Amino acid sequence: MKINGNAIRPGMVIEHQGRLWRAVKIQHTQPGKGGAYLQVELKDLRSNTKLNERFRSSETVERASLEQRTYQYLYTDGNMYTFMDNESYEQVELNADMIGDDQISYLQESMMVEIEFHEESPLGVKLPNTVVLEIVEADAVVKGQTASSSYKPAVLDNGVRTLVPPHIASGTRVVINTEDGSYVERAKD
């Protein structure tokens, strides 16, 4: 599907120079001379290389049609991660590069994820927005620090460091945002 160059949004996948690219960052620029353009940082979905490209509103780009399917995470074997379709029991193996280091740490056994496919070829994994993890190590609260809304460092059971409110102690289960690793709330369970 053809779209205008200024209609590109972060997360969108486009076909450009014969390859598939995901728009990571966009910046609308209107110079003093000449027409406005959209500065887009693109990431190649196959090789993970980056490219900065300018698109004017008069240009058109091809938006890739992707299919999202729900899969269940099963296990890891070295650098390969195995997922299963719960309806057809078909299994898909993806390497760590396709998932991304920032998301691998939040992958949990039996977790349901969305895998994006382009022409029956898997491109990437989208985790749920939040996961429940346990705090294994939290710094002590400094007296007098509770007057302002301050956060303290803590380590989650997956080894990731995050900031939590002062009332959260070791052993507490918390909800964490998988996009940026930030604390959302105390788990309800």
**pLDDT for 28-64, tens place per residue?**
888 888 888 889 999 888 787 899 999 888 888 888 8
Q: What is the DSSP string of 119-179?
A: TTEEEEEE--SEEEEEEEEEPPPPTTGGGS---EEEEETTS-EEEE-TT--TT-EEEEETT
The more confidently predicted of residues 98 and 147 is 98
pTM of the model as a whole: 0.73
Considering the domain architecture, whether residues 182 and 141 belong to the same structural domain is answered as: yes
Q: Which domain holds residue 7?
A: 2-63
Cβ contact 133:169 at 8 Å: no
Considering the domain architecture, whether residues 154 and 180 belong to the same structural domain is answered as: yes
pLDDT for residue 146:
55
3-state secondary structure of 116: strand
Confidence tier at 72 by pLDDT (50, 70, 90): very high
Considering the domain architecture, whether residues 118 and 164 belong to the same structural domain is answered as: no
pLDDT for residue 139:
81
CA distances from 171 to 87, 134, 156, 158 (A): 36, 6, 10, 13
Confidence tier at 111 by pLDDT (50, 70, 90): very high
pLDDT tens digits, one per residue of 140-172: 776 665 556 678 889 999 888 999 888 888 899
> Of the residues 63, 80, 100, which one is the last residue of a structural domain?
63
CATH number for the domain including 165?
2.40.50.140
> Of the residues 63, 87, 114, which one is the last residue of a structural domain?
63
Number of structural domains (the chain) is: 3
Considering the domain architecture, whether residues 119 and 135 belong to the same structural domain is answered as: no
pLDDT for residue 11:
78
Considering the domain architecture, whether residues 57 and 73 belong to the same structural domain is answered as: no
Considering the domain architecture, whether residues 86 and 118 belong to the same structural domain is answered as: yes
What number of residues does the chain have?
Answer: 189
> Of the residues 37, 63, 89, which one is the last residue of a structural domain?
63
pLDDT for residue 71:
94
Q: Which two tokens stand for residue 15?
A: 């076909």
Q: What is the mean pLDDT of the chain?
A: 86
Considering the domain architecture, whether residues 43 and 12 belong to the same structural domain is answered as: yes
CATH number for the domain including 58?
2.30.30.30
Considering the domain architecture, whether residues 76 and 59 belong to the same structural domain is answered as: no
DSSP label at 103? H
